[in-house]
Amino acid sequence: MSELASPDQPVFAVPEDNLIPVGDYFNKLMIIPPSRMFLINKSLKVYREKYPDRPIYDASQGDGGASLPGVLPEILETANRMQIEHGTAYDMPYGTDLFRKSVIEDYWHLDPSLGITPANVIGAIGGRDALLKAYQAMLALGYGREGDLVIVSRVPWISYNWGPYSIGANVLYAPGRAEQGWSYTEDSIVECVRYAEQHQRKIAGLIITNPDNPTGLTLSVDRQVSLAKKALESGVAFVLFDWMYHFVTDEKPMNLNSFLPNFTKEELKRIMFLDGITKSLGGSNIRNCHLIAPNEVVQFIVSRASHGVMPSFYSLAVAMAAYKMGYDKASRPIVEPTNQSRIVLKKFLDEHGFTYILGKGYYAFIEVGKWLKAKGWADTEPMGQYFAEEYGLAIVPGAFFSVYGGDWIRFSYATPVEKTKGALERLVEGLASLEVA
């Protein structure tokens, strides 16, 4: 045993060889802006004050707990009983063993021969928490460097821009064209790797979101597999599949039993899957999701979570109660009206000649460039405020996601059909007023 330092001498908590090098990148970071998503509804208050008797239409929502019934009361009641029986002592940094088992057996119904076990499951406080933990693992276990890159689409979910950046990863927008929904291609992934090398950086991770937020673009299983394989082959350290919206479909949700066999054992050591109850169950305020990851990643995340953020048992209990009920039944109050609204929405957009992206999930991405030009607006940010204050319609400006979405709006149809129809009528009315102006 080495001799202890004098009690009168300061001592580092880790050996000197393991100290974090001094750097000044904190001084160079952009100020991370707050998400403007939480400000959209404030503009509706202006309309309410002017027209207190008129209905408003919120097509901005990514929250089935607000625009639809949310989690079934019987699920919440079951979770409450589970919490009482379980008590209020600490659980493990990954949640509980029962939760892990329920994710694998009750939700995914995973074939044991595929080699994914409950030990590969991590419970998290919603998608953002899981993603931050995944980004950290990508950086540390990929190339072991801060400042490497996470690839996202040209028009990504707002928090894909800033989540990686907040923990030391840079974000790289992949090449992509609006007419293809800014979808990745194998060539665009290879180009990202080349671009990174030109800037003396590596790719720590690629995020594949299906269905996509904000565009709603949906990729086939074959496309997802092909993109992931090309990424891994090209030197991308990890691929993360964000499937938070995949159950909100009128087709079949993703199926790990048929998806996993597309990859070799070595490839599966570099793949993660994120899913949860936020969207399909309307559990935004419950804050529960799970990450399925390779053993090394799980150990890395769990070790750090023991010193940081751990999931609450109640959030785990809500998920387990929904899984035990049968997720088709549990998610029906969200999935069915959204699917019905999707049919109405597509017909309406086609009849009115809109250019749009519409797959599955919650959202359509609608092009409104000609109306911007008529008004002289540079992008859709002022349009969002105008619609809310003058027409009682909340949408999300595409400019909020990236400059490449500046001519587009995100329209949420996670609402009852009549609400979706009303919102569409207000949209057309509002756009027509811009032409007149």
Count helices and strands in the chain by DSSP H and E runs: 18, 13
Structure confidence by residue, pLDDT tens digits, 342-387: 999 999 999 999 999 999 999 999 999 999 999 999 999 999 999 9
Contacts of 310 (CB under 8 A, 6+ apart): 90, 91, 92, 93, 95
Instruction: Return the residue matching tokens 């597509």.
Output: 346
Instruction: Return the residue matching tokens 């693992």.
Output: 137
φ, ψ at 411 (rounded to 5°) = -120, 115
Rounded Cα distance between 404 and 216, Å, is 16
Tell me, yes or no, if the pTM score tops 0.85: yes
| Chain mean pLDDT for the chain | 96
DSSP lists the bridge partners of residue 289 as 124, 276
Residue 228 in contact with residue 236, Cβ under 8 Å? Answer: no
- Residue 42: its pLDDT value, please? 80
| Residue of 423, 282, 429 whose CA lies nearest to 341 | 423
Rounded Cα distance between 123 and 312, Å, is 9
Contacts of 70 (CB under 8 A, 6+ apart): 64, 281, 282, 283, 333, 334
Q: Lowest mean pLDDT: which of 10-24, 38-52, 235-249, 384-398?
A: 38-52
What are the structural domains of the chain?
Answer: 36-70+331-436 (3.90.1150.10), 73-330 (3.40.640.10)
